[in-house]
Amino acid sequence: MFVPDAAMTPPAAAYVYQVNLSDGGVPKRAVASAMMTVHGLTGDRQRNRKYHGGPDRAVCLYSLEVIEALRAEGHPIGPGSSGENLTLAGLDWVQVAPGDRLAIGEQVLLELTDYTTPCRLNAQWFTDGDFRRIAQEEHPGWSRLYARVLREGVIKAGDAVVLEAPAGDWSATNERDRGTI
């Protein structure tokens, strides 16, 4: 099993804390690196393709800081446990929204497509079984996000993550999506 090493963390403000794969379902387990294609991470599989996977849901992302905040509330959640492919650190997760783009490492470019609806399989990561704790409509800023892959490449723990403006009017689009205008 791969264990992220703090020495791998680049000086960037945001980075990939962990890359996670599974043969279906949760939790996903940490790996050193994986090939990111338009279909998602090579070696990863989703058990229920009706709700997970496909080009607009090729990758699931989550925030290390949100996971740590949930743990501080007493929930036994950890990186990869809720099914995210990439556990990211150093982003202001409340400000990240569908339409944003993330450049990861030297190759990969993702476009965030939607908030991820949590399923009952995530109940085990919550002390009261309430997996809706990470539902965007009930707890804004605590949800995982789906992304499509715009540029493929190898991704690994420690890769820098840069939030890029989406095509069009970035500030107006994001302020509207976040309900500030």
What number is the average pLDDT over the span 65-93? 95
Q: Answer whether residue 122 is part of any domain.
A: yes
**pLDDT at position 121, please?**
84
Cα(81)–Cα(71) distance, integer angstroms: 12
Segment 12-16 mean pLDDT: 86
Print the SS3 string covering the chain: CCCCCHHHCCCCCCEEEEEEECCCCCCCEEECEEEEECCEECCCCCCCCCCCCCHHHCEEEEEHHHHHHHHHCCCCCCCCCCCCCEEEECCCHHHCCCCCEEEECCCEEEEEEEECCCCHHHHHHCCCCCHHHHCCCCCCCCCCEEEEEEECEEEECCCEEEEECCCCCHHHHHHHHCCCC
Q: What is the pLDDT of residues 169-178, one digit of tens each?
A: 445 444 444 4
Asked, for residue 123, whether it belongs to a domain, the answer is yes
Instruction: Name the nearest CA neighbour of 135 among 144, 127, 126.
Output: 144
Q: How many domains does the chain have?
A: 1
Give me the chain's average pLDDT, please.
84
At residue 72, does pLDDT exceed 70? Answer: yes
Where b means 16+ CB within 10 Å and e means fewer, 78-95 reads bbbbbbbbbbbbbbebee
CA separation for the pair 20, 13 (Å, rounded): 21
pLDDT-above-90 percentage for the chain? 60
Angle CA(44)–CA(50)–CA(55) in degrees, nearest 5?
60
Interatomic CA distance for residues 44 and 28, integer angstroms: 9
For residue 37, the domain's CATH number is 2.40.33.20
What pLDDT, on a 0 to 100 scale, did the predictor assign at position 102?
A: 97
Residue 1 belongs to a domain: no
Domain-located, residue 26 = yes
Query: Could you report the per-residue pLDDT of 89-112, keeping only the tens digit for each?
Result: 999 999 999 999 999 999 999 999
Q: Which residue has the higher pLDDT, 180 or 107?
A: 107
Position 2 confidence tier, pLDDT thresholds 50, 70, 90: very low
Is 181 inside any structural domain?
no
Does residue 160 lie in a domain region? Answer: yes
Domain of 34 in residue numbering reads as: 6-176
